[in-house]
Amino acid sequence: MSGLDIFAIIVLLILLFAVVAIWIVLAMLPGKIAAKRNHPQAEAINIGGWLGAILGGVFWPVFLVWAFTKPIRITSAGEAEEIQDLYKRIAALEAQGTSRVGRK
């Protein structure tokens, strides 16, 4: 083996290492973004990012976009009123519980 062959092998190994490192970073990217943004489905996005990377990046962009979105809960008008009533009842029970604690 000549010196040029050894140099070529070293360059190829460095390039291979760089490609693997970039692949790992890109696979982790959607999950890291979702965790940083406190996304409720951060773990699912993390798994999807890895799955997308393993499958050759087919669905990886979908998980990347998902990491930047927040889910919106759509409620009907009646459901919204029920939720407000529940919040009022919880507040009343908490106030009642704190007044009992003060008496002991």
Q: Give yes or no for residue 5 having a pLDDT over 60.
A: yes
CB 42 within 8 A of CB 31: yes
Q: What percent of the chain shows pLDDT beyond 90?
A: 66
Question: pLDDT at position 14, please?
Answer: 98
Question: pLDDT at position 28, please?
Answer: 96
Q: Give the tens place of pLDDT for each residue, 22-44.
A: 999 999 999 999 999 999 999 99
Alpha helix positions (H), the chain = 3-36, 42-54, 60-68, 77-103
Q: Over the chain, what is the mean pLDDT?
A: 89
pTM exceeds 0.75, yes or no:
no
